[in-house]
Amino acid sequence: MTKADVIRTLGAPVSTAAQSGNELLQYRLYAGATANPWYQDYFVALQNGRVVAYGQR
């Protein structure tokens, strides 16, 4: 999966970082009621523009 595929599927990341051909896209999923919301952070790691890892933070 390419970076474009990830963004097309998950939307824009909340933050990114890059170094030497490696890139990290960070996402935040919000859920719960308005009075008591919670969130979970996720990441997608790319190497040379292709996904090499993903998961929860």
The whole model's pTM is what?
Answer: 0.84
Distance CA 46, CA 53 (A): 7
Q: Does residue 55 carry a pLDDT above 90?
A: yes
CA distances from 3 to 9, 20, 33, 34, 42 (A): 10, 16, 32, 32, 15
**Which sequence spans correspond to the domains of the chain?**
3-56
> Is the pLDDT score of 37 beyond 90?
no
Q: How confident is the model at residue 41 (pLDDT cuts 50, 70, 90)?
A: very high
